Structure 1
Amino acid sequence: MTDTSTAQTAPKRSLARTLELDTRLLGMIGAFAVVCIVFNILTGGQFLTPRNIFNLTIQTVSVAIMATGMVFIIVTRHIDLSVGSVLATCSAVMAMTQTVVLPETLGFGLGNPLTPWVTILVGLIVGAIIGGFHGWLVGYMGIPAFIVTLGGLLVWRNAGWYITNGQTIGPLDPTFQTFGGIGGTLGATGSWIFAALATAAAVGTLFSARRNKVAHGQTPKPFWAEASLAGLIAAGIFGFVALLNAYEVPSRVLEREFSARGETMPEGFTASYGLPISVLLLIAVAVIMTIVARRTRLGRYIFATGGNPDAAELSGINTRMLTVKVFAIMGVLCALSAVVASARLSFHSNDIGTLDELRVIAAAVIGGTALSGGLGTIHGAILGALIMQSLQSGMAMVGVDAPFQNIVVGAVLVIAVLIDIIYRKRTGGKG
């Protein structure tokens, strides 16, 4: 009788718990949806147009790429205030490499098939060296990361200025520029193919995890919950691609392209931009960083060190070398962001990346990365970057002055940290 009564009064699991969805992630998605709806109303329906969604995505990429690395930095209880300046230095090096160094030393001019790839490789190496040097100063020399990267903020910003003699360098290589956004997209057909492949990969991973749970004797989610989650993923991917494909190339641009080929554009011909290559790069970075965080020894060491540095060191983890690796990863991601940022502008300017360090840290914190260390997610940081960019873009469209935009962004950052503190107190410090 008691057993029956207990069974009847057992609390029912919520839908979110049944689907095993992250409540923090749901909260951020809800916040993002509210931001979009409010600005769409204030702009008379202009905020959620395909054109603005396209622009929003390519504007988010540079900060989002660096935010994935900032997760590792903050998780290990450090901070990096130099990311915007490192981006500027890497951008300056890559601009000079493709416009001056390669033409004068190897005879590679702009338009040579090797130019963009050699340029990007040089930029990645420079970013890794700078980041590794910061990590060495922090890990082996014992200088606080705040001081090292605060110095780096000043050093690398001005080092980039000296590399270019204070000049704006451009135009950059045409292939290099395809990483910037509107100059390099997959088109409608390529985007639909990507959506199908991405959905297949995501759903395959979902059910592979289910099989692993069963194989290890764990209880998986109900099949209907698994199928529902797969449907949500598929709807999200195809919906996003459909929005981007709805942004059509202006007819005057198409006419110029046909004219350049000596052809006449057929009457009624249309084409879509589709998925930008820069967004593909962000997706690739997100997948790789998530795998590193969840599936590799390095990722386990990073989160273990952030959770308890002393215990991690006593357990045999080389926390000093780990610090070097984490900062080197951050440097590489700064270089990748430099590729996207300079390619989007089609030239290098000395103010590139200004204040990006604040945007990157804000994106990581808003995305749920704990400043106390040990907790953070890659997808959360990317969503945080998207929320930040949506706020700034929406306010710009409404006509809010730049100073007040920064006031709002600063207030949002403080509120996000306060919410994080309250959430962790209520959940006993768990993420």
Structure 2
Amino acid sequence: MADTTHPTTSSGPRDAEAGAITRFLRATEIDTRLLGMVGALLIIWIGFQVLTGGLFLTPRNLWNLSVQTTEIAVMATGMVMIIVTRNIDLSVGSILGISGMIMGVVQARVLPQYLGFDSSMTWILALCCGLLVGLAIGFFQGMIIAFLEVPSFIVTLGGLLVWRGATWFVTSGQTVAPMDTNFRIMGGGADGSIGATWSWIVGVIACVFIVIGIINSRRQRKRFGFPRRPLWAEYFLSALGCALVLGAILVFNNYYWPIAIARRYAEAKNIVWPDEGLDIPYGIAVPVLIAIFVGIVMTFIATRLRFGRYVFAIGGNPEAAELAGIKTRWVTVRIFALMGLLAAIAAAISTARLNAATNSQGDTYELYTIAAAVIGGTSLAGGTGTIAGAMLGALVMQSLQSGMVLVGLDTPLQSVVVGAVLVVAVWLDTVYRKRAK
């Protein structure tokens, strides 16, 4: 097919500029919706940087922002699959709550009676129990939705109430603390970060995979006769990806342990405390690595596995998917079971970060998770959505919340802003779909 040409009879400086931008986006194949979301994120960051007097874009706040985003980001990857199939899950916050409470009770009250308080198996068994609870709840709700044909809105709305109440009954509303030392690594902090050296190693490995991925994609396109991007576009995307990764690591490595923690570390390691103090970088936080790993796995499932293709086929046209031989009911059960498992992973991060399991843990998280998926480009009409977009949407949501806290905005006003952003995101999705027709 010949390339589309643009007429030059009515072109002016503005038209030429628009044509250059269009050609650039077409050559690099950058998703315009994703690009718009990045632009919105930059506007939010710059705005809060001004409003907070330079506090927002500091290494400390950006590091904390990355950790705080992980829980919603992990669950948003599963919510994409749910919404793509024209369903909804309002129970993810409550599943997080009861999974976290089970993990807390198992490691703080049950296992110490049998394994002692210093067993290396405590955190593993507690984590497995929580993950199994989340998986079982998701599977149970999926069975009701798929085989009893109860709308997902009703089933998960009931689950929101049931599992929140069950969380309270596990300990009669008591907070369970503290958590196992090894378990707390999943929550970040000084012990839950990998330090400067390993962060740079991870960054270099990530850059290598980015370049290999782009090269492999080009080879596959050539093999099957698909059009390839210009070489300059391949170089640009490789450089951009590596720059973003290494830039993020540079920021993380410029956030240092508090003096008290660094001093205790020096005493424990018999390190002489220098007069100018000891700067120990946090590096990448473990929960951030967990979220990135989940994002990669979910992207692979959504784009490379038959299950992912079935999910999008059901979202595009459920009747046609059924006639094509796809077992739509079992696919529905699996996506809700997967959503329950992801909520339990988020529960592990949340419980480890708080060093406690509380009755209110995960409260309102279902709203933020749905908002992150929708803001990330997942269409409520079904059939459209990306994992990367949902994770970026989670970062947008957390940036708004973190910025409003730094500005000193009251909690009710924060809810107003989040609600307004969600409505605008759905409206923009509606406009986008109408123009795409």
Give the TM-score band, short-chain normalised.
over 0.9
Report the Cα distance in structure 2 between the residues aligned to 1:98 and 1:291, rounded to whole angstroms.
Answer: 33
Question: Partner of 1:191 in structure 2?
Answer: 199
1:107-145 Cα offsets, whole Å, 9 max, x none, are 223432111111111111111100000000000110100
Secondary structure at the residue paired with 1:422?
helix
| Residue 366 of structure 2 corresponds to residue 357 of structure 1 | yes
1:110–1:172 contact (8 Å) kept in structure 2: no
Contact kept, 8 Å, 1:111 with 1:175, in 2: the verdict is: no
In the other structure, the counterpart of 1:100 is 109
Are residue 174 (structure 1) and residue 181 (structure 2) matched? yes
Note if 1:223 corresponds to 2:231: yes
Q: Please state how far the C-alpha of 1:264 moved relative to its aligned partner.
A: 3.4
**1:135 alignment partner, one of 119, 123, 142:** 142
2:297 aligns with 288
Unaligned runs of 5+ in 2: 10-18
Q: Once the 2 structures are TM-superposed, how far is the Cα of residue 16 of structure 1 from its aligned partner?
A: 1.2
Instruction: Return the alpha-carbon distance in structure 1 between the equivalents of residues 46 and 343 of structure 2.
Output: 32
Give the counterpart of 2:282 among 273, 285, 299. Answer: 273
Structural mapping, 1:63-142, within 5 Å:
63-104=72-113, 107-142=114-149
In structure 2, do the counterparts of structure 1 residues 142 and 272 end up closer, same or farther at CA, with 3 Å as the change threshold? Answer: same
Which amino acid letter does the alignment assign opposite residue 354 of structure 2?
Answer: L
2:243 corresponds to which residue? 235
Q: Equivalents in 1 of 2:275, 2:295: separation in Å? A: 41
Q: Tell me the equivalent position of 2:255.
A: 247
Counterpart pick for 2:357 among 348, 364, 380: 348
Shift, 1:259, TM fit: 2.3
Deviation at 1:158, TM superposition (A): 1.0
Contact residue 67 and residue 381 of structure 1 kept, 8 A: yes
Taking structure 2 as the reference length, the TM-score comes to 0.94
Residue pair 1:110, 1:174 contacting (<8 A) in 2 also: no
Shift of 1:270: 1.6
Q: Which residue of 2 aligns with 1:60?
A: 69
1:99 CA drift (Å): 1.4
2:101 maps to amino acid:
A
Q: Which residue of structure 1 aligns with residue 15 of structure 2?
A: none
Shift of 1:391: 0.6
2: CA distance between counterparts of 1:232 and 1:300?
29
**Which residue is 2:165 aligned to?**
158
The one of 403, 411, 415 equivalent to 2:420 is 411
Give the superposition deviation at 1:7: 9.2
Letter in 1 for 2:404: M
Conserved 8 A contact 1:39-1:394: yes
Residue number among 310, 323, 332 corresponding to 2:319 in the alignment = 310
CA distance in 2, matches of 1:251, 1:93: 35
* Amino acid aligned to 1:256: R
Q: CA deviation at 1:9?
A: 5.7
Alignment-mate amino acid for residue 174 of structure 1: T
AA aligned to 1:382 is M
Q: How does 1:312-351 map to 2 (within 5 A)?
A: 312-351=321-360
Q: Could you list the runs of 5+ residues in structure 1 that have no partner in the other structure?
A: none
Alignment-derived partner of residue 16 in structure 2: none
Cα drift, residue 248 of structure 1: 1.1
Distance 1:328 1:99 in 2: 27
Letter in 2 for 1:219: P
Among all aligned residue pairs of Structure 1 and Structure 2, give the percentage whose two residues are the same amino acid.
49
3-state DSSP class of the match of 2:256?
A: coil
In the aligned structure 2, how far is the partner of 1:262 from the partner of 1:189? Answer: 21
- In structure 2, distance between residues paired with 1:38 and 1:65: 27
Q: Which moved more, 1:11-20 or 1:349-358?
A: 11-20
SS at match of 1:174: coil
TM-score (norm: length of structure 1): 0.95
Structure 1 position 262, deviation (Å): 5.0
Q: Is the Cα contact below 8 Å between 1:60 and 1:389 reproduced in 2?
A: yes
